[in-house]
Structure 1
């Protein structure tokens, strides 16, 4: 028998739960795939083809700066898509964000290089990167709401875990494809051949293939219905004209808390992925300031480690439902703080072995899964229905500026100027700020998602 929420154990308003799960996960997988192929290319491709002037470190930093540009765009995307997500609905907005990401990523695969059009090339790359950021700014919160607003009672943490799986799955798809192309085309990151097949055309393949994935994602998302929680809020007349103004008027404390709750998660991930890749594959001293790993070898280590990220996400969802969001995240964040102290002993000797590097990455990715898993439940639970898309999106994406946009850039500068111990200290400080934010936040596990009149969840 169906409940008053229009659902039973296996369906929501007649739509199978497995279809909703797939729709929330497939979109985030595609969007994170698109995001990660750019992150990988920012280290291995763009410094050579779009920022070739000056010394290699300057080119890398310029490439990482455009990588960070998307994080500046993400809060703008959360405002734009959040407005329509809270006004027009979750489903329509999710389709639009997926289309924008697909078009921008496909276009990157067609861009001319610096040698062909000069400064127009990095300018166009920056525009497409900004568009990617706009799209992802609207994607994550919509997928999180699709999962949480259709979850079975007492299982929101588990339901919200599914869109989070898009992050490691997208990472695996993106990096596996790059590794395969590099091996097949004989590319060397240590001594790249500008006229070789990989830098001539091979790097474009992952970007162009995103069109196929977007088509699959659109097919899945067009077959779902609007969430019942949003539909009931509209029926009660709770929809507001300007969600942005409303969320700042009524939920500004939750915005601040949500932003800092996400800070350690973002900082951890982009240090362990983007910065670690650039540092691990940079030349050994005195010619460089890295660890001297072959590019493909390091990507293979990351691919192994990201399996631990994927494996711990379901564990995090179960823990958050069993013990609550605050208790789970406090323990994990304390673990991230301890992890920051491991940077110097594990990476600071200059002769880090592959085994030590793999262990370092596995610890980081395990902590990432445990901290990232509950977030798609925690942030939506902080906000009322009529501003939930906007509020959760702004918190998530403003945090991306503070914790992700600058993380690879700052970490590269710290490691080059002062050593890797300072990178660990940087992560420790970010985790400490998150720890305080979680202490201030009230427990959200039992918060209702079905009413605009909610208890203040910020102390």
Structure 2
């Protein structure tokens, strides 16, 4: 193929010509995060509609649900550990091999969930195995995001890093749509009613296993794409210069502790917004209505899930918008504006979530506003966090910041929001979001602009 024809069919990446088609980098970074988030959301859905019935002792339904949600929370404990584990190898061995390892860890664990025996078959071993698989999912996701972000940013052309880095961010809405859409279709096709579950019905007998087993197809696709990419040129140059460190974890805490703190709080508002707009709002929206003596809105589970799936499309649409804006105007200024709007949105909860006469249309409006803002704040993050850290600890540093923020913003957000809505009213959930976004706003004020900095630097 001639040079002219080659240039017409593909765009080369990196400041030097590394000979890797840009489209292959895009697919490799996006397909992996799509698989990872698909696996994560599939478990989240099953933790509410499946596992309490099949993997925990019969008795109190609330206790079984809480136990199931506890296994869901295990992943948030495992994610920082995954960022340390995979970050070590990502900074020592390379981005490519580590990304394959994180994908396999997550994918194999998810597939095995689809094969697990239930409590009726093996007793207490069933929830123990479920917890182990969930922990492995968290480990894999902890190493996945930062690796995919580095794959995108470290192969991007100058001035286009935020745009390149937004592709792995699209994995979150894509994974959400596929996982929850698949569960929705299966429950409709098999006639499952979450309000009155039939333990002998097709869905709880075998249908729930389908999304987990199908993850194998996505993992194989992800592996195929990732095994065909090269090591990032930025990491390769660092190796040539002898700049690898023996202990990335110790080095990042010694040399980049300030960036770790800033990066963690830069992500805080994003994580809090997302888990309020997905996990908490689902329980609030489908909870018993106030008119019936409850504290929720009384929407049917399937109806509300459809509203969420529609709103997630706006999440996906917002990601490329701020990817472009962050390259044009800078990461810091773009995110400061978006975070300020999130603070205003938080203060509007009492007005937008009116339990008296809340219609599907008004609920959808609330979800769409929140998800658009989620796309705006999430889009530039896979450029911002890697750019905060030097090459030799970038995998470890960006991963720790991202996943520590998941504990502070994601793991506790649904519980805090539920307590606030029940004891003080839904308006206080918005105040909670306001506070989290305000902390992010302060972190952004302290953060340096990273738009024009070289990723080759070892500071």
Answer yes or no: same fold by TM over 0.5.
yes
Match of 2:225 among 215, 220, 225: 220
Q: CA deviation at 1:348?
A: 3.9
8 Å Cα contact 1:291/1:351 also seen in 2: no
8 Å Cα contact 1:11/1:17 also seen in 2: no
Q: Which moved more, 1:384-393 or 1:268-277?
A: 268-277
Is 1:309 matched with 2:315? yes
Distance 1:52 1:426 in 2: 35
CA displacement 1:42-99 (0-9 Å, x = unmatched):
2222232234655444433333222221011000000000000000000000000000
Is 1:49 matched with 2:51? no
Distance 1:335 1:365 in 2: 13
Is 1:290 matched with 2:290? no
Match of 2:448 among 442, 445, 456: 442
8 Å Cα contact 1:38/1:67 also seen in 2: yes
Distance 2:20 2:13 in 1: 10
Match of 2:286 among 256, 281, 285: 281
Q: CA deviation at 1:296?
A: 1.2
TM-score scaled by length of structure 1:
0.94
SS of the equivalent of 2:206 reads helix
Match of 2:415 among 403, 406, 409: 409
Distance 2:16 2:453 in 1: 22
Is 1:346 matched with 2:355? no
**What is the root-mean-square deviation of aligned Cα atoms in Å?**
1.9
Distance 1:247 1:77 in 2: 16
Distance 2:37 2:313 in 1: 15
Figure out how many residues of one structure are paired with residues of the other and give that number: 450
Is 1:25 matched with 2:30? yes
CA displacement 1:4-53 (0-9 Å, x = unmatched):
xx956899511111101110001001111001111112222223223465
8 Å Cα contact 2:387/2:453 also seen in 1: yes
CA displacement 1:128-167 (0-9 Å, x = unmatched):
1111000000000000000000001100010000000111
CA displacement 1:376-406 (0-9 Å, x = unmatched):
0000000000000000000000001111111
| Paired position in structure 2 for 1:265 | 270
Residue segments in structure 1 that go unaligned for 5+ positions in a row = 454-459
Q: Which moved more, 1:243-252 or 1:288-297?
A: 288-297
| Paired position in structure 2 for 1:383 | 389
SS of the equivalent of 1:183 reads helix
Q: CA deviation at 1:194?
A: 1.9
Distance 2:216 2:13 in 1: 35
Q: Which moved more, 1:248-257 or 1:40-49?
A: 40-49
Q: Which moved more, 1:140-149 or 1:408-417?
A: 408-417
Which structure 2 residues correspond to residues 8-407 of structure 1 after superposition, within 5 A? 12-51=17-56, 53=58, 55-285=60-290, 286=292, 288-407=294-413
TM-score scaled by length of structure 2:
0.94
SS of the equivalent of 2:157 reads coil
8 Å Cα contact 1:69/1:405 also seen in 2: no
Q: CA deviation at 1:117?
A: 3.0
Distance 1:227 1:39 in 2: 33
8 Å Cα contact 1:158/1:318 also seen in 2: yes
SS of the equivalent of 2:454 reads coil
SS of the equivalent of 2:288 reads coil
Distance 1:52 1:338 in 2: 44
Q: Which moved more, 1:217-226 or 1:354-363?
A: 354-363
Q: Which moved more, 1:440-449 or 1:109-118?
A: 109-118
